[in-house]
Amino acid sequence: MSDTGDLAGRHALVTGAGSGIGAAIARRLGRAGARVTLAGRREAPLRAVAAELPAGCAAVVADVDVTDPDAIARGLVTARETFGPIVILVNNAGAVESAPFAKTSIDQWQRTIAVDLTSVFLVTRAVLSDLIAAGSAGRIVNVASTAGLVGYRYVAAYCAAKHGVVGLTRALALELASTGVTANAVCPGFTDTPLARAAIATIMAKTGRGEAEAIAEMTAGNPQARLVAPEEVADTVSWLVSPGAASINGQAIAIAGGEVMAG
C-alpha cells in the first residue's frame, strides 16, 4: 500500500505500540499522514518508535496498563491534549502464556483474559464518544489472532480471549453501524515479532534444533511456510482505517498465508 496521506490529520491511538505489530502499525499510520499516539507500559521502546515517525506526528503515552481504567484515563488526557479527539483506535496490546489446559492456573487464565480481551473493552469504551463524534471517519481495529478463529493446543486462555475479541468486534460493528464508525479485527498467524523470536529460542533450547528447523516447526500450518511480517499486518490495518474501507465492517481478516480461510 502506497503512502497516500489518506489519513492526514486523523488522530490514531495504538496500544502496545513499542514493538512488533504495534510498532509496525504506528509507523505505517504515521507515513499515511495520521497523528499517532503510541501507548504502552515502557517509555523507552515507545520513544524509539516515535523517533522513526515523521516529525510532529507522534506522541508517547507511557505507563498505560490497558487492564486498568484509571491508567487508561490518564493516558487519554495526554493524548487528547496533544492531538485532540481520537478518530482511529487500534487495540493491539496483548500477551500469551503457554500451558496445557490441565496445568493452566486461574491466575494465568485471568491475566490472559484481562490483557487480551478485557483491555479491548476498556480502551474502546474510554474512547467511544470520540469515535462516534468522528462519524464515518471513526475506525476501530482490534488485533486478534488466528487463535481467535481456530483452536491451538496449550494456549486455551489465549484462544478464548482472542475468540472473545472477534465476537466483541462483531457486536461493536452492528451497534455502531448507524454512526458510520466501523469495527474490524485482524487475525495474524505466527508473526516475526520479539514474542515469536522468544518462542523460537525456546524451541531451539528444548529440542536442540537449529533456527531454521524451529521456524519450520512453528510455521508448519502456514501454506507459505514462513512467518508473517509485522508490516503485512500494518498494511492491512492501514487499509481498514482508510476512507476507502468505509463498507468493511465486522470482519475478522486472517493474515496467515492461507492457514485459515473464511467459509
* Residue range 214-240, pLDDT digits in tens: 888 888 899 999 999 999 999 999 999
Distance CA 59, CA 38 (A): 6
Torsion angles phi and psi, residue 113, rounded to 5: -60, -40
What per-residue confidence (pLDDT) applies to 195?
A: 81
Domain ranges of the chain: 11-191+229-255, 192-227
* 0.85 exceeded by pTM: yes
% of the chain surpassing 70 pLDDT: 97
Q: At what angle do helices 69-83 and 119-134 cross, to 10 degrees?
A: 30
What per-residue confidence (pLDDT) applies to 3?
A: 60
Q: Is 154 in the active site?
A: no
CB 87 within 8 A of CB 134: yes
Residue type, 133: A
Cα torsion through 119, 121, 127, 133, rounded to 10: 160
Q: At what angle do helices 211-218 and 194-207 cross, to 10 degrees?
A: 110
Question: Which residue out of 158, 186, 192, 240 is catalytically annotated?
Answer: 158
What per-residue confidence (pLDDT) applies to 251?
A: 98
Helices (H), the chain: 20-31, 43-50, 69-83, 106-113, 119-134, 156-176, 194-207, 211-218, 230-240
Residue type, 225: A
User: Measured between alpha carbons, how far apart are the two ends of the chain, in Å?
Assistant: 26
The tens place of each residue's pLDDT in the chain, 263 residues long, gives: 446 578 999 999 999 999 999 999 999 999 999 999 999 999 999 999 999 999 999 999 999 999 999 999 999 999 999 999 999 999 999 999 989 999 999 999 999 999 999 999 999 999 999 999 999 999 999 999 999 999 999 999 999 999 999 999 999 999 999 999 999 999 999 998 888 888 888 888 988 989 998 888 888 899 999 999 999 999 999 999 999 999 999 999 999 999 998 65
Q: How would you label 175-214 residue by residue, b for 16+ Cβ within 10 Å and e otherwise?
A: ebeeebbbbbbbbbbbbbbebbeebbeebeeeeeeeeeeb
CATH topology of domain 11-191+229-255: Rossmann fold (3.40.50)
